[in-house]
Amino acid sequence: MRLPSWQIGYALGIPIRVHASWFAIFFLLTWALATDYLPDSLPGLPPERYWAMGGMAAVLLFLSVLLHELGHSYVALRYRVPIDRITLFIFGGVAHMRKEAPTPLAEFLIAVAGPAVSFVLGAVCLGFVALAEPIPQQRGLRGLVILSTLLGAVNVQLGLFNLIPGFPLDGGRVLRAGLWAWGKDFYRATKQASIIGLGFGIVFVLLGFAMLAGSAMGGAPASMASNGSWIALIGAFLFAAALASRRQAALRQSLAAVPVRNLMVTTVVSIPSQCTIEEAVNQYFQPYGYGGFPVLDDGRLIGLITVHEIQAVSSAVWPWRQVGQVMRPVSPSLIVEPDAPVIHAMEHMAREGWDRLVVMQDGQVIGLVTQSAIMHFLQLRKP
């Protein structure tokens, strides 16, 4: 079952969402800090104080993760790579980019921006600790020093972990940028970097199980069991993500070699702009069963109307509202050439949130390419 997520705000114009799994790790982290780390580091406080400090520390740690992802997002936006959303989940966070970086240099800079933010945050926190250590500390200042030490150490570890050269970690993306620049083949570079990611995933899983076995046989402290479980879980996640990235790269590579004309619908039915919505529904949408139609005016393409635009208008005004008044106006992003790769059409649709594009050649409408046609193509060629 797919777990839900909830939007909690915006940053840099990007929706910030919290996945349901985040609450599990938030509770476990708060519990670990309130019952182990904080009582050992700052003894003598009541339990409710430890829980409050643990919750605050957990929030700050995830704020660090969010800032890490915003570092990626800021540089990506500078290169006109749209960010759909940032999601916080059990393993940290992820910025969902609607398309790939345009150049190897852009890929490199986007990848290193996140660890750079983490290292800066770590340096600030540990710098505060260094300045505060010589000062005679009351309990309140001591608490800030302990939290700053924790935040500093975690941010440095977050930056270092993400620089592991296994895709899709940031270090793997840096590796992909280098392989891309060297071999001039983005998809091959992605598959090569993903293989390294698979290797690191396997290593982490084996290391985690070795720690679990050592703890179970009494050759290692009991706390090693918990650490081993997390390392094995992270390794499994990295392996699955690398495998998915490799498959996606192979899929995108195949779509880059297929022209739009091979998938487009050539029997195009258009709607006159003066047609009312009621006429469009009764004479076009219902009889043909299509999800959208080009809109023409004297034989010239002026827009596209889909079920979405129809549903946005109250049925009470359908007899009087014309198609030309509610359609999506024509724009370069609505049009694709027949010899363009299918992957370009997919990126157009993802970027604009559309499910179909008009195929034009020499100023004439010659077809439509839809998401469903692309999905059918992929299903028929699925190994």
Catalytic sites, residue numbers: 69
> Considering the entire predicted model, what is its pTM?
0.72
Amino acid at 3: L
As a whole number, mean pLDDT of residues 322-349 equals 83
* CA quadruple 18, 23, 29, 30: dihedral sign: positive
DSSP per residue over 104-155, as a string? HHHHHHHHHHHHHHHHHHHHHHHHHHHHHTTS---HHHHHHHHHHHHHHHHH
Least confident of 86-90, 188-192, 202-206: 86-90
Q: Which two tokens stand for residue 102?
A: 């345009």
Taking only the tens place, the pLDDT of each residue in 144-198 is: 888 888 888 889 988 998 898 888 888 988 999 999 999 888 888 888 888 888 8
Q: How confident is the model over 123-145, as pLDDT tens digits?
A: 999 998 888 776 665 555 677 88
What is the average pLDDT score of the chain? Answer: 83
pLDDT at 1: 45
The answer to whether the CB of 73 falls within 8 A of the CB of 2 is: no
What local confidence, expressed as pLDDT, does residue 44 receive?
76
Each domain of the chain, given as residue ranges in start order, spans 1-163, 184-257, 260-380
Whether residue 6 contacts residue 85, with contact meaning beta carbons closer than 8 Å, is answered with: no
336 in Cβ contact with 357 (< 8 Å)? yes
Compute the radius of gyration of the chain from its Cα atoms.
27
pLDDT at position 295 is 87
Cβ proximity of 279 and 321 under 8 Å: no
Q: What is the mean pLDDT of residues 7-17?
A: 85
Please give the class, per CATH, of domain 260-380.
Answer: alpha beta
| Distance, CA of 25 to CA of 19 (rounded, Å) | 11
